[in-house]
Amino acid sequence: MTAPHRPTVILIGAGFGGLNAAHTLANTDVDVLIIDRHNFHLFTPLLYQVATSGLDPSEIAYPVRGIFRNADNIRFLMGPVEAIDTAGQTVTVRTEHQVIEEHYDYLIVAAGSKPNYFGQDAIREHAFDLKTLWDAVTLRNHILRSFEQAAWIDDPAERAALTTMVVVGGGPTGLETAGALYELVRHVLRREYHSGLPDTPGRMILVEMQDHVLNPYPPRLQRAAYRQLESLGVEVILGTRVVEAGPDHIRLDDGTVVGTHTLVWSVGVRGATLAERLGVPLKANDRVPVLPTLQVEGLPGVYAVGDIAYLEDPRGEPYPMLIPVAQQQGKLAARNILRRLKGEPERPFKYFDRGLMATIGRSRAVAWLFNRVQLTGFIAWLAWLGLHLITLIGFRNRLNVFVNWVWNYLTYDRSVRIILQPDGHHNAPGGAGEIAAAPDWLVTETTEAAEELETAEDEAALSVPLL
């Protein structure tokens, strides 16, 4: 007698939404295939610390196969998705050596998002993104190379442009990046380049088109974040936007021209390109419309979660493109599939908002917990550190990050000030989102370092929600 057919769930994307869905389906009576173009899960909230030489890339990444090594029903396939046939229920993946077509009974799309330049392609050509591990390493290489170049240039204006960094966007990512960049320059690079750059202090500029930073936060925390930025030494320009960018300058809408070789774009995101392959009309920011059960509208058996999914809350506002939303949606989509298999009704998505956090630099942060408690300064900073530390996957990663944070706090040092860009590659900003994968040296480094972590701690980490 033949064994009964087990339903197959294909899960596209190993980000926070995809990983939580897979964790929910692990060791259940379904076959799960995770597809991702990279072989690791990336802890994106700490990308800026890789870009600013605070952490090594391997400390915020972990191999997907390692996470689920004890889940017999989960397989992994690395490669970009070339096609989704919702009628035939197949997903086509191009690997390094072949094209593979896999059949599914249920599909969860958790492909995430990509930077949103709002049609300003000319700016994109000269801007750095912070969405992938490769983006962070590329920015780190560029910053360190800029200071190396500036130390041997006699022209004061060119030296100033090389050591001036501009971050566009007053959200949490923008504030965290700006604060970390300034601390890198102030506490590390100024000392190391004291002979070559005696009269070039280095500037850190944050540009925000609104008249305040941290738009979703209460006014008190917005003002606190602004004061903390200024006290740190970051120049904050509000109520203006970047309208032009070149290799050595930017221009604001008031006509101001700032000489800089480093423009970091953190304004916003939109749904990943994969959204277009589902063949449904997209909503704002290229997001896939879903029902309250997270099924894609018009596609039974297909679910979308996280940044790529468009669903409105009870107030009629779309759920924000945040990690906690992705985590909770990933769990619900997986549970709804299991409910369908049992003949039970599916449940609608209800977001449990645990709050928001943003760190601005050493001992500087703001936190809005459960939309009630407002924290600023050192206490908020400690809360931010603790939450991110316990949410990292793997004991070794947590230990390494903790040791680095303590060392950086005590010594003001940034240990990963190395330029690892292979010869023949240029740090041309822009287009980072078009790079299909990190170079072999980076993937190898990440994989080998992370394989030393213990499985029990992997699964425990996945159960911890992130604010």
**Residue among 20, 78, 184 nearest 437 (CA):** 78
pLDDT of the residue at 422: 56
Give residue for tokens 């390494």: 400
pLDDT of the residue at 407: 84
In a domain, 2, yes or no: no
In a domain, 50, yes or no: yes
pLDDT class of 138 with cuts at 50, 70, 90: very high
pLDDT > 80? residue 209 = yes
Average pLDDT along the chain? 86
pLDDT > 80? residue 466 = no
What are the tens digits of pLDDT across the range 335-344?
Answer: 999 999 999 9
234, 383: one domain: yes
pLDDT of the residue at 408: 82
pLDDT class of 4 with cuts at 50, 70, 90: low
pLDDT of the residue at 389: 87
Cα–Cα–Cα angle for 363, 391, 385, rounded to 5 degrees: 5
In a domain, 170, yes or no: yes
pLDDT of the residue at 418: 83
Cα–Cα distance, 59 to 399 (Å, whole number): 9
pLDDT of the residue at 463: 36
What value does the mean pLDDT take over residues 3-13? Answer: 88
pLDDT > 50? residue 333 = yes
- Please tell me the total count of domains within the chain: 2
pLDDT > 50? residue 442 = no
Domain enclosing residue 138, as ranges? 121-267+355-437
pLDDT of the residue at 12: 98
Which residues participate in catalysis according to the annotation? 176
pLDDT > 70? residue 1 = no
In a domain, 1, yes or no: no
246, 364: one domain: yes
Query: Can you read off the two tokens belonging to residue 19?
Result: 């990983």
What are the tens digits of pLDDT across the range 71-111?
Answer: 999 999 999 999 999 999 999 999 989 999 999 999 999 99
What value does the mean pLDDT take over residues 24-49? Answer: 95
In a domain, 467, yes or no: no
pLDDT class of 3 with cuts at 50, 70, 90: low
In a domain, 73, yes or no: yes
333, 376: one domain: no
pLDDT > 50? residue 457 = no
Q: Which runs of E-coded beta strand occur in 282-377? A: 288-289, 302-304, 309-310, 355-361, 364-369, 373-376
Highest mean pLDDT, choosing among 60-64, 428-432, 459-463: 60-64
- Taking residue 296's Cβ as centre, other Cβ atoms within 10 Å add up to 23
pLDDT > 50? residue 462 = no
What are the tens digits of pLDDT across the range 150-169?
Answer: 988 888 899 999 999 999 99
168, 293: one domain: no
pLDDT > 70? residue 448 = no
64 sits in which H/E element: helix 64-67
In a domain, 412, yes or no: yes
Q: What is the CA radius of gyration of the chain?
A: 22
154, 252: one domain: yes
Query: Can you read off the two tokens belonging to residue 281?
Result: 């009309």
pLDDT > 90? residue 192 = no
378, 245: one domain: yes
Cα–Cα distance, 285 to 435 (Å, whole number): 21
Strand partners, 312: 318
pLDDT > 60? residue 424 = no
What are the tens digits of pLDDT across the range 58-67?
Answer: 999 999 999 9
Cα–Cα distance, 228 to 170 (Å, whole number): 13
247, 374: one domain: yes
In a domain, 248, yes or no: yes
pLDDT > 70? residue 392 = yes
235, 146: one domain: yes
pLDDT class of 6 with cuts at 50, 70, 90: very high
pLDDT > 80? residue 388 = yes
308, 323: one domain: yes
What are the tens digits of pLDDT across the range 214-238?
Answer: 988 999 999 999 999 999 999 999 9
pLDDT of the residue at 331: 98
Q: Report the CATH number that the domain containing residue 306 is assigned in CATH.
A: 3.50.50.100
59, 94: one domain: yes
247, 324: one domain: no
pLDDT class of 379 with cuts at 50, 70, 90: very high
What are the tens digits of pLDDT across the range 281-310?
Answer: 999 999 999 999 999 999 999 999 999 999
pLDDT > 80? residue 434 = no
Q: Which residue has the higher pLDDT, 436 or 389?
A: 389
279, 248: one domain: no
Residues 346/293, Cβ–Cβ less than 8 Å: yes
- Taking residue 246's Cβ as centre, other Cβ atoms within 10 Å add up to 16
pLDDT class of 435 with cuts at 50, 70, 90: very low
pLDDT class of 198 with cuts at 50, 70, 90: low
